[in-house]
């Protein structure tokens, strides 16, 4: 029998605004449903109480700019902390799987953070993954993101990381926020193929999702041989979701969960707070607990015509062919500030929709055949002309990449106001302000 | 001067006290007759000489009547009829009783999704008519705490079609959890006749002694209600609540401590945080029944002063049962009490016999003073270890309570300075050992041996009114009473809701004989109901409590 851990943290006193989809009652009806069903009384279920994440665990994974004190992180730290509570319970073998039914969500929050985007400020799964690696020595983790939106934040954080496989199945970015997640995005120069994006046509329902899982996603996961599987369990693929146009049912989500068999599922989006969440959360939970979810039936019936059968099969076959055919093309750059080695350059612009500003980022990654490669990100919040720098020495870095990380920090602390060094190899973080090393956690 | 009377029916002994003006006037213990709880209580009242007392204000009993009947499966059969709707399969949870299932689906806001199928009802009525002359029928629908339409309609139908039927509805207690609500409704109905007979006879017996004082019953959550108002199932597990309240009456208000009540074979452990007993977030479990009966967060360990001590492969073991009283007071088996007596940690019992008792645990050639002493110490250590683990578990449970709001998590682990309040017949002599093990100051409660009866006597009436209001549907519900009514106030209320609930609480409190001077407001949550970027109503959740506590303090 599975022992399933659950943390239910609806954050009833936190919202992004009265009319905002991410508001207090997002999990109100889910609470009504799961409490009335008595799921906490199932003999194999263990309810945990929420935790608060350590700021160190945040900074190991995400660079919070210009500093932690500029953000109100309370609710986000609890959503992360709760995911960590279940992660610890899993590692201690108290549970065989778990569901962090928490808000706010996190998968749009990336490697550098200037504010809230797509309702996310901290990335629940990414921070969790790096805690599991740092604290428990877990080597390989697969993330399957079943939110309707591309989890661009999670992809951003692990883009150069060969030991984290990020798979996202979502509504095509040309039709929905955040506008990314094309099948050509397959990972950085040292981690090519560790990202798999499956953008779908609007209207795909249970059948299409299950087909993609069976024929593409699960085989990819099996080939990767992860030690752990994490599901970013967004629920906005539901046929009642106000922000998206997919056609998945609650029982479809149950089946998806059954196929993925995640060690941990973390709630992401899902904004049909009446039509979808109470049912999907039940179905996912029951599937995790090994219980029959066939009785979970929405009170509304799907109305859109579903894109199913041959249409979705041939669509996915074509997409798979396209994905296979993509070849990497890297832009190499030489800059004075770069230590020895070959550095691949890219740049991106990140829009923070909640607060309405942009971040421009230049990114350099040290091409390396021994490790994930040191990363440099020079980030600028455009409206405020504020600049900040992140240097990251990856888990299991080789000596050359490690040295490159220190050299970058040394160089940039003299050049820029804010410099953060994430030393994942030695499990340390350092912050410099105006050239002086300061306590990154404030105080 | 008016007196308060408290009776606590325990497994072995029944404690009784009469308290006048905070002073214990009479106290005593009589053996409990488990087969005749009513007469045990009446004997205890006679022991206190209530027929001679002039002015008795209240009589409060904490009784194991219903607990015993449930545990011994001594209750009549109840027909359990469920409207499980959609969702989790009934078979996912263990049901200790049979049930039958009817069609009809409600959603989480109480909307009818699939109506009931009345053609099924006729078959049911025929079956009930055939089965029994006076069938007891518990009817529970999923989400009936949001809308009791199916339950009420079926009950009305059955009352027409099945003469002599008694029905009980799940919505009469309006808390979530269909499973627990079903089992609680079942148990309550099953225990009703037994309890009513008991209540009637107790009242008669008290009146026959010339006493007209109101009789109250202690509940598992530490509150009391008049004999005629209590739902029988709420009288289960009032013993541990009595221990906590008894300690409360003998300590300073605002203090935080662990209550450890060591009885003959069980030790009850409770927690008081700044003068308020900790309430469990789950309902009480009794035997195989999970209920939604509100109770104090307590732990019970099967260990006490009379627990039998035996040998298991040469090692001293504490049994989870009792073989009569301690050897040192005339029993047949060595017990922790003998160990405490031998170590001179108590002067209760005969020292010579205590030594004999310990000797029984050693080979004849190893009964030197130091061997006996070592054996006694091991017994005390083992007892303290068991209790200590239970204390740690309870503290852990408190620290890991679920929380649903940011401020609850952020302010969850406020520092409390705990100490231990030790009470109960088995308590004397254990302070030092427990203090040493827990590294917490340990104090022996003054009237340790009748602490539970003091708790019963001095318990305050309590009640809670938890409101769930949906202004879009203009319906309010009260969890504790199951009341469902029409809301005539505004769609986006604010203070009006709080005033509404306060008024309702005050009015109903009068009917229950409860003073509402210290009505406590819980923070109200307001959830806007948004449709197309417009607020179309609100769901409001809030509560008013008369919290558990005691009337005054005992003076020595
Ligand atoms: Zn989403
Ligand atoms: Zn390297």
CA-CA-CA-CA torsion sign (B387, B393, B398, B399): positive
Indicate whether A305 pLDDT > 80: no
What does residue B411 show for φ and ψ, rounded to 5 degrees?
-105, 20
Interface check for A43 against chain B (CB to CB < 8 A): the answer is yes
Tokens linked to B16: 């009784």
Burial of A17 (0-12, 13-18, 19+ CB in 10 A): exposed
> Closest to B179 (Cβ–Cβ): which among A13, A41, A74?
A41
For the four alpha carbons of B97, B98, B100 and B101, in that order, the dihedral sign comes to: positive
Strand partners, A428: A423
pLDDT confidence of residue A304 = 67
Chain B nearest CA to A138, separation (Å): 27
| Residues with Cβ within 8 Å of residue A392, at least 6 apart in sequence | A111, A374, A375, A376, A377, A405, A421, A422, A424
Would you say A80 and A127 are in contact if contact means Cβ atoms under 8 Å apart?
A: yes
Taking residues B485-508, what's their average pLDDT? 91
Query: Is any Cβ of chain B less than 8 angstroms from the Cβ of A41?
Result: yes
Which residues, including other chains, have CB under 8 Å from residue A271's CB and lie 6 or more apart?
A: A21, A22, A26, A236, A241, A242, A243
Nearest Cα of chain B lies from the Cα of A93 at a distance, in angstroms, of 18
Helix axes B178-208 and B37-47, enclosed angle (nearest 10): 50
What is the mean pLDDT of the segment spanning A419-424? 98
The pLDDT value given to residue B1 = 65
Residue of B nearest to A72 (CA): B406
* φ, ψ (nearest 5 deg) of residue B260: -125, 110
**In the structure, what pLDDT confidence band is assigned to residue B518 with cuts at 50, 70 and 90?**
confident
CA A402 – ligand 2 centroid, Å:
7
Contacts of B400 in chain A (CB under 8 A): 48-49
Residue numbers in B near A282 (CB within 8 A): 87-88
Distances (CA, A) of A314 to A211, A212, A310, B206, B503: 11, 11, 6, 85, 66
Among A305-309, A312-316, B519-523, the range scoring the smallest mean pLDDT is A305-309
In tens, the pLDDT along A196-220 reads 999 999 999 999 999 999 999 999 9
Chain B interface disruption, residue of A10, A299, A301, most B CBs within 10 A: A299
The yes-or-no verdict on residue A1 having pLDDT over 60 is no
pLDDT tens-place string over residues B63-116: 989 998 999 888 999 999 999 999 999 999 999 999 999 999 999 999 999 999
DSSP H helical segments within A98-140, as ranges?
124-136
Contact B177 A10 (CB under 8 A): no
Nearest C-alpha neighbor of B427 from the set B329, B336, B332, B354: B336
Which ligand sits nearest to residue A370's alpha carbon? 2
Interface test with B, best of A36, A39, A45, A291 (most B CBs within 10 A): A36
**Sequential DSSP letters for B499-529:** HHHHHHHHHHHHHHT---TT-EEPPPEEEEE
Which residues make beta-bridge pairs with B112?
B106
A430 labelled catalytic: no
CB B497 within 8 A of CB B467: yes
Digit-coded pLDDT (tens) for A69-126? 999 999 999 999 999 999 999 999 999 999 999 999 999 999 999 999 999 999 999 9
Say yes or no to pLDDT of A24 above 60.
Answer: yes
How far away, in angstroms, is A128 Cα from ligand 1 center?
19
The pLDDT confidence band at residue A331, using thresholds 50, 70 and 90, is very high
Lowest mean pLDDT across A76-90, B50-64, B184-198: B50-64
Q: Tell me which of B82, B86, B88 to substitute to probe the interface with A (most A C-beta atoms closer than 10 Å).
A: B88
Assign residue B424 a region (left: φ > 0; alpha: ψ between -120 and 50; beta: otherwise): left
The residue among A164, A165, A176, A232 whose CA lies nearest residue A204 is A176
Q: Tell me: the pLDDT tens digits for B256-296? A: 999 999 988 889 999 999 888 998 888 999 999 999 999 99
The alpha-carbon gap from B338 to the nearest alpha carbon of chain A, in Å, equals 40
Q: Which residue has the tokens 């300073």?
A: B252
The pair of structure tokens assigned to A438 is 């300061």
* pLDDT band of B425, cuts 50, 70, 90: confident
Omega cis (within 30) before B172 = no
ipTM: 0.93
pLDDT band at B468 (very low <50, low <70, confident <90, very high): very high
Selecting from B113, B290, B533 the residue whose C-beta is nearest the C-beta of A19 gives B533
Helices assigned H by DSSP within A26-65: 28-37, 55-61
Query: What is residue A379's three-state secondary structure?
Result: strand
More confident residue, A224 or B506: A224
| Residue, of A277 and A384, whose pLDDT is higher | A277
Question: Using CA atoms, how far apart are residues A258 and A144, in angstroms rounded to an integer?
Answer: 13
Asked if A285 and A253 touch (Cβ cutoff 8 Å), the reply is no
**Is the CB of residue B180 less than 8 Å away from at least one CB of chain A?**
yes
State how far the Cα of B244 lies from the Cα of B259, in Å rounded to an integer: 6
- How much is the pLDDT for A159? 98
Cα–Cα distance for residue pair B474/B292, rounded to 1 Å: 27
The C-alpha atoms of residue B170 and residue B148 are separated, in whole angstroms, by 8
CB A34 within 8 A of CB A281: yes
Which residues on neighbouring strands pair with residue A388, listed in sequence order? A379, A418
Q: How many whole angstroms separate alpha carbon A416 and alpha carbon A429?
A: 17
**Location of structure tokens 């469990």:** B280
Closest ligand to A267 CA?
A: 1
Token readout for A224 is 């990767």
Q: What is the mean pLDDT of chain A?
A: 95
| SS3 (DSSP) at B268 | strand
- Find, among A269, A280, A8, A264, the residue nearest to A126 by Cα: A264
Q: Cβ of A214 under 8 Å from any chain B Cβ?
A: no
Ligand 1 centroid–CA B162 distance in Å is: 54
Question: Does A43 contact B94 at a Cβ distance shorter than 8 Å?
Answer: yes
Beta-ladder partners of B326:
B333
Least confident stretch, A227-241, A314-328, A335-349, B394-408: B394-408
Three-class secondary structure assignment of B458-491: HECECEEEEEEEECCCCEEEECCCCCEEECCCCC
Name the band, by pLDDT with cuts 50, 70 and 90, for residue B61: very high
The answer to whether B108 faces chain A, any CB pair under 8 Å, is yes
Euclidean distance between CA atoms B138 and B127, whole angstroms: 15
Q: What's residue A224's pLDDT?
A: 98
What rounded mean pLDDT belongs to chain B? 91
List strand residue ranges (DSSP E) for B239-293, in order. Answer: 256-262, 267-273, 276-277, 285-286, 289-290
* Catalytically annotated residue among A76, A107, A108, A170: A108
- For residues B488 and B481, give the distance between their C-alpha atoms in angstroms, rounded to a whole number: 20
Point out the residue among B105, B145, B527 whose CB comes nearest to the CB of A25: B527
Nearest of B475, B79, B184 to residue A38 by alpha carbon: B184
Tokens of residue A97, six digits: 């799987």
Distance CA(A314)–CA(A294), nearest Å, equals 29
Percent of chain B with pLDDT over 70: 99
Q: Is the pLDDT of residue B412 over 70?
A: no
* A370 C-alpha to ligand 2 centroid (Å): 5
What sign does the dihedral A159-A162-A168-A174 (CA atoms) show? positive
Sheet strands (E) in B399-451: 418-423, 442-444
pTM of the model: 0.92
**Phi and psi torsions of B325, nearest 5°:** -70, 175
Half-sphere exposure of B449 (CA within 13 A, CB side): 12
- Answer whether B135's CB lies under 8 Å from B164's CB: yes
Alpha carbons A392 and A403: distance in angstroms, whole number? 11
Q: How far does residue A269's CA lie from ligand 1's centre (Å)?
A: 4
- Tokens 């110490």 found at: B377
Q: What are the backbone dihedrals phi and psi of residue A387, each rounded to the nearest 5 degrees, phi first?
A: -120, 145
């Amino acid at each position: 029998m599975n022992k399933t851990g659950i943390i239910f943290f609806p954050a009833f006193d936190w919202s992004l605004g009265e009319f905002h989809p991410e508001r207090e009652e997002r999990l109100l009806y889910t609470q009504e449903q799961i409490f009335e069903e008595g799921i906490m009384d199932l003999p194999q279920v263990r309810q945990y109480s929420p935790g608060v994440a350590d700021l160190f665990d945040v900074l190991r994974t995400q660079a919070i700019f210009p500093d932690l004190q500029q953000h109100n992180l309370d609710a986000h730290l609890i959503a992360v902390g709760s995911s960590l509570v279940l992660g610890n319970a899993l590692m201690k073998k108290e549970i065989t799987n778990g569901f962090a039914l928490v808000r706010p969500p996190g998968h749009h929050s990336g490697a550098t953070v200037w504010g809230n985007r797509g309702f996310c400020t901290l990335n629940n799964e990414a921070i969790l993954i790096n805690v599991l690696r740092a604290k428990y020595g877990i080597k390989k983790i697969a993330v399957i993101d079943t939110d309707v939106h591309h989890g661009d934040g999670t992809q951003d954080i692990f883009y150069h990381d060969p030991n984290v496989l990020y798979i996202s199945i979502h509504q095509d970015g040309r039709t929905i926020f955040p506008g990314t997640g094309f099948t050509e995005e397959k990972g950085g120069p040292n981690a090519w193929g560790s990202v798999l994006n499956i953008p779908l046509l609007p209207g795909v329902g249970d059948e299409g999702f299950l087909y993609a899982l069976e024929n593409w996603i699960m085989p990819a996961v099996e080939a990767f041989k992860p030690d752990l599987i994490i599901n970013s369990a967004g629920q906005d693929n539901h046929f009642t979701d106000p922000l998206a146009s997919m056609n998945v049912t609650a029982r479809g989500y149950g089946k998806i969960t059954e196929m993925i068999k995640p060690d941990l599922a973390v709630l992401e989006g899902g904004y049909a707070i009446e039509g979808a969440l109470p049912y999907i959360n039940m179905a996912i939970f029951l599937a995790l607990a090994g219980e029959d979810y066939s009785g979970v039936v929405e009170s509304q019936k799907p109305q859109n015509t579903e894109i199913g059968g041959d249409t979705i099969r041939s669509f996915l076959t074509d997409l798979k062919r396209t994905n296979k055919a993509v070849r990497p093309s890297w832009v190499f750059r030489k800059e004075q500030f770069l230590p020895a080695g070959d550095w691949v350059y890219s740049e991106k612009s990140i829009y923070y929709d909640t607060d309405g500003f942009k971040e421009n980022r230049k990114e350099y990654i040290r091409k390396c055949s021994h490790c994930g490669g040191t990363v440099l990100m020079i980030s600028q919040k455009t409206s405020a002309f504020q600049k900040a720098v992140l240097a990251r020495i990856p888990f299991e870095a080789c000596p050359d990449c490690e040295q490159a990380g220190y050299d970058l920090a040394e160089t940039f602390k003299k050049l820029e106001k804010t410099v953060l060094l994430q030393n994942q190899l030695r499990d340390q973080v350092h912050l410099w302000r105006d050239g002086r090393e300061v306590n990154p956690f404030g105080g | 001067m008016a007196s308060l009377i408290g009776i606590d029916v325990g497994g072995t002994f029944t404690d009784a006290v009469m308290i006048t003006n905070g002073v214990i006037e009479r106290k005593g213990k009589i053996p409990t007759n488990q087969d005749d709880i009513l007469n045990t209580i009446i004997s205890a009242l006679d022991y206190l000489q209530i027929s001679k007392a002039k002015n008795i204000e209240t009589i409060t009993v904490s009784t194991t009547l219903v607990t015993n009947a449930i545990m011994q499966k001594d209750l009549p059969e109840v027909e359990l009829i469920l409207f499980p709707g959609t969702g989790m399969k009934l078979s996912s949870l263990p049901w200790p009783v049979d049930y039958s299932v009817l069609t009809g689906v409600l959603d989480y806001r109480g909307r009818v999704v699939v109506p009931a199928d009345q053609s099924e009802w006729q078959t049911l009525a025929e079956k009930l008519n055939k089965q029994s002359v006076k069938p007891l029928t518990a009817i529970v629908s999923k989400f009936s705490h949001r809308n009791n339409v199916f339950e009420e309609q079926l009950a009305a139908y059955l009352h027409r079609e099945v003469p002599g039927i008694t029905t009980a509805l799940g919505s009469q207690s309006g808390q979530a959890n269909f499973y627990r609500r079903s089992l609680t409704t079942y148990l309550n109905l099953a225990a009703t006749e037994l309890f009513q007979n008991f209540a009637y006879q107790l009242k008669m017996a008290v009146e026959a002694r010339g006493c007209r004082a109101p009789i109250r019953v202690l509940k598992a959550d530490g509150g009391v209600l008049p004999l005629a108002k209590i739902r029988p199932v709420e009288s289960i597990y009032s013993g541990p609540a009595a221990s906590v309240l008894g300690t409360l009456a003998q300590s300073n208000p605002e203090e935080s401590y662990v209550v450890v009540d060591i009885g003959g074979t069980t030790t009850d452990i409770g927690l008081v945080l700044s003068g308020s007993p900790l309430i469990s977030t789950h309902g009480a479990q009794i035997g195989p029944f999970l209920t939604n009966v509100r109770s104090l967060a307590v732990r019970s360990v099967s260990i006490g002063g009379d627990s039998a001590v035996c040998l298991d492969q040469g090692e001293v073991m504490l049994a989870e049962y009792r073989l009569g009283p301690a050897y040192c007071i005339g029993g047949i088996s060595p017990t922790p009490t003998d160990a405490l007596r031998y170590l001179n940690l108590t002067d209760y019992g005969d020292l010579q016999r205590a030594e004999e008792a310990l000797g029984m645990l050693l080979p004849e050639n190893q009964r030197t003073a130091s061997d006996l002493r070592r054996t006694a110490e091991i017994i005390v250590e083992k007892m303290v270890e068991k209790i200590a683990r239970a204390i740690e578990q309870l503290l852990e449970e408190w620290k890991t309570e679920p929380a649903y709001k940011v401020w609850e998590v952020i302010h969850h682990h406020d520092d409390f300075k705990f100490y231990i309040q030790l009470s109960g017949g088995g308590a004397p002599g254990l302070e030092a050992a427990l203090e040493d093990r827990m590294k917490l100051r340990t104090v022996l409660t003054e009237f340790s041996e009748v602490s539970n009866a003091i708790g019963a006597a001095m318990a305050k009436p309590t009640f809670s009114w938890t409101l769930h209001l949906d202004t879009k549907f203009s319906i309010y519900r009260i969890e504790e009473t199951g009341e469902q009514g029409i809301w005539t106030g505004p769609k986006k209320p604010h203070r009006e809701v709080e005033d509404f609930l306060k008024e309702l609480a005050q009015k109903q409190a009068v009917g229950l004989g409860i003073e509402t001077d210290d009505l406590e407001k819980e923070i109200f949550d307001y959830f806007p109901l948004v449709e197309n970027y417009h607020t179309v109503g609100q769901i409001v959740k809030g509560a008013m409590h008369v919290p558990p506590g005691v009337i005054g303090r005992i003076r020595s």
